[in-house]
Structure 1
C-alpha cells in the first residue's frame, strides 16, 4: 500500500483540510471515497479501508472542517464557517477531484456514514460528481429531532446573529438529538446509541481525534439541518441517474435512521422515482455503526465490496 497525504484549503477559506489517499500495491480497480460522520474522523474507518485495499480499491478520505486532524491543526472544533452545508459538500468535491487526478479512469464510488450520508447525497446530486455507485450507511433519515423537535425559527435567529460562531444553546442541541437514548435504559451513556458493543462505544469516547462532545456552533447546526433537508428532499431523488447502483445500510436500533424505518423510506422513494439498482440491509438489534460492530462488520464490508463490483461491472 502507498499512502499519499492530500491537503487543500477548505471552501470556508479558513481551514486546511487534511486528507489521505490509500492505494494498493497492485493497480486499483476502483476508487472509494469515504465521508465520515459528525464528531468523528476518517481513520475510524481503517478496518473498512483495509478490506477495500485487499479488494483492489484505492480509498480516499479526509477529516472535515471542525473535525479530526483538520480541527487539530486549526484549533477550531464543531464549526465549518458560514454556509456550513455548502462548505462540506464543496470540500468533498475538491477531495474527489484530487483523487481523480491520481486515478482518472477508474470507476468512482462514494460512501458516506451518518452526517456523511447527508454530505454524500448532496455531492451525488451535483453533475460534476460523475459517480458509478453510492453507499449510504447509518443513513440520516426520519430523524425526529430535525423533523419534529427542533425550533427552526429559534435556530435561524441565533445562526443569523453576531453570535453565530458561538456554541448553539443547549436547548436546541437537546432538540436536535431528541430521543437518541430513550430506548437504551436509564443508565445509558451519552453515546450509547453509537453501538451495541461496549468496546466500540468506549473507543468512540476516548479517541482524541473524535471529540463528539465538542460544542457545535449555531451556524454549524443550521448547516447540519439545511444539509439534512437537502439530502432528504425531492431533488435528491430526481437528480440521481436512474441506473446508479445504490446501497443503504442501517441498524434497526439506530435513532439516526428512525430505527431502520428511515432506510426503508429512502429505498422506497428511490424505487418510486425510477431507481431499480437499490439494495437495502437493516441489521436487527444493531445501533448506529453497523460498519464497526463486531457482529456485522464483516458482512457490511462485503456489501460495500459488492457495491464496488456493481460499479466496476457497470450494473
Structure 2
C-alpha cells in the first residue's frame, strides 16, 4: 500500500481538512471515496479500507470539518462554520478534486471509475455530491442510510432551531433538548440499561471502541448552526427534488441494519431504494441485515458480508464503466 496525505483549506475558511489517498499494490481498477458519519472519523474504516485495497481499489477518505484530525488541528469540534450543509459537501468535492489531480499524474491511475460510499451523515453528503459529479460517477453506496429519521421528520422544533442558527449565538452549542430531538427514539428498542450510543452496534465491543476513540468525540456539543446544517442537508437529499438529479443509469447500493434507528429500522433503506426505482433508476440493490444496528460494516456478524457487498458492487460498476 502507498499512502499520501491530502490537506486543503475548508470551504468554511477556518479549518484545514485532513485527507488520505490509499493506493493498492498493483494496478488499481477503481477509486472509492469514503465519506464518514457524524461524530466519527475516516480511520474508523481501516478494516474496510484494507478490504478495498486488497480488492484492487484506490481509497480516498478525509475527516470533515469539526471532526477527527481536521478538528484536532483547528481545536473546533462539531461545528463546520456558517452554512454547514454546503461546507461539508464542498469539502468532499474538493477532496475528490485534489485526489483526482494526484491520480491523474500517472497513467496507471488516471481516469479510473469513481464510486462514492457514504455512511450515515456521510450518506447524506454523498447524495448531495451526486448532482455535482453525476457524469463522472460510476456508482453510489449508501450505508446506514439516513432516511425516515423520526426526530428530524416529526420532532425537531424547526422554528426554534432556525432562530438560534440565524442569531448571534449560532456558533455556540445548541440546547440539549434540541439535540435530543434529533436523536428521538434512538434507544427505545434497546432496553432501560442501554448506553447513549447503544444504537451504533449490537456488539458491545464495537460500541465501547466507538466511545473511547478520542478522534470520535461523539459527545462534543453540536453548534446550533451545525445542527441546522444537518437538518438542512437531510431535507435536501430526502426530498422529492433530489431523485431527478440522479442519473437514471447510476448503480446504487443501499445497506442498513434492521435495528438501526438512523434508517428507521431498515424501512428507510427500502424507502430510498423504492423511490429511486419508481423515479426511473432500475439499477438499485438493497441489503438490510437482520438483528444488527447502525454500523453493519463494523458488526462482527455482518462485517465480512457488508464488505463483500461493497467490493462486489464496485467491481461490477467499474467493469461496466470501463
If the TM-score is normalised by the length of the shorter chain, which range does it land in? over 0.9
Aligned length: 315
- The residue correspondences of 1:233-272 to structure 2 (distance < 5 A) are 233-272=239-278
Q: How far apart are 1:233 and its partner, in Å?
A: 1.3
Task: Return the alpha-carbon distance in structure 2 between the equivalents of residues 139 and 118 of structure 1.
Answer: 8
Q: How far apart are 1:128 and its partner, in Å?
A: 6.2
5+ long unaligned stretches in structure 2: 104-109
Contact 2:134 2:246 in 1 (8 A): no
Task: Return the alpha-carbon distance in structure 2 between the equivalents of residues 233 and 111 of structure 1.
Answer: 20
Counterpart position of 1:68: 68
Counterpart position of 2:87: 87
Alignment partner of 1:206 out of 198, 205, 212: 212
Task: Return the alpha-carbon distance in structure 1 between the equivalents of residues 270 and 25 of structure 2.
Answer: 38
Q: How far apart are 1:170 and its partner, in Å?
A: 0.9
Counterpart position of 1:53: 53
The reply on whether 1:117 has 2:118 as its aligned counterpart is no
Counterpart position of 2:152: 146
Alignment partner of 2:221 out of 215, 237, 240: 215
SS in 2 for 1:234: coil
Counterpart position of 1:98: 98
Go from structure 1 to structure 2 and tell me whether the alpha carbon gap of 1:128 and 1:134 turns closer, same or farther (over 3 Å shift). closer
Go from structure 1 to structure 2 and tell me whether the alpha carbon gap of 1:129 and 1:225 turns closer, same or farther (over 3 Å shift). farther
SS in 2 for 1:314: helix
Counterpart position of 2:195: 189
SS in 2 for 1:146: helix
Instruction: Show CA shifts across 1:146-195 (max 9, x none).
Output: 00000000000000010000000111011110000011000000000000
SS in 2 for 1:126: helix
Counterpart position of 1:5: 5
Counterpart position of 2:114: 108
The reply on whether 1:171 has 2:172 as its aligned counterpart is no
Task: Return the alpha-carbon distance in structure 1 between the equivalents of residues 177 and 6 of structure 2.
Answer: 38
Q: How far apart are 1:129 and its partner, in Å?
A: 6.7
What is the TM-score of this pair, normalised by structure 1?
Answer: 0.99
**Runs of 4+ in structure 1 over 4 Å off:** none
Contact 1:108 1:311 in 2 (8 A): no
Counterpart position of 2:35: 35
The reply on whether 1:14 has 2:10 as its aligned counterpart is no
Go from structure 1 to structure 2 and tell me whether the alpha carbon gap of 1:299 and 1:264 turns closer, same or farther (over 3 Å shift). same
Worse overlay, 302-311 or 147-156: 302-311
Alignment partner of 2:306 out of 284, 300, 307: 300
Contact 2:134 2:247 in 1 (8 A): no
State the Cα RMSD in Å. 0.9
Contact 1:36 1:116 in 2 (8 A): yes
Contact 1:78 1:220 in 2 (8 A): yes
Task: Return the alpha-carbon distance in structure 2 between the equivalents of residues 112 and 245 of structure 1.
Answer: 14
Counterpart position of 1:157: 163
Task: Return the alpha-carbon distance in structure 2 between the equivalents of residues 29 and 127 of structure 1.
Answer: 19
Task: Return the alpha-carbon distance in structure 1 between the equivalents of residues 18 and 179 of structure 2.
Answer: 27
Contact 2:79 2:226 in 1 (8 A): yes
Worse overlay, 179-188 or 122-131: 122-131
Counterpart position of 1:135: 141
5+ long unaligned stretches in structure 1: none
Worse overlay, 141-150 or 229-238: 229-238
Task: Return the alpha-carbon distance in structure 2 between the equivalents of residues 119 and 310 of structure 1.
Answer: 23
- The residue correspondences of 1:263-282 to structure 2 (distance < 5 A) are 263-282=269-288
What is the TM-score of this pair, normalised by structure 2?
Answer: 0.96
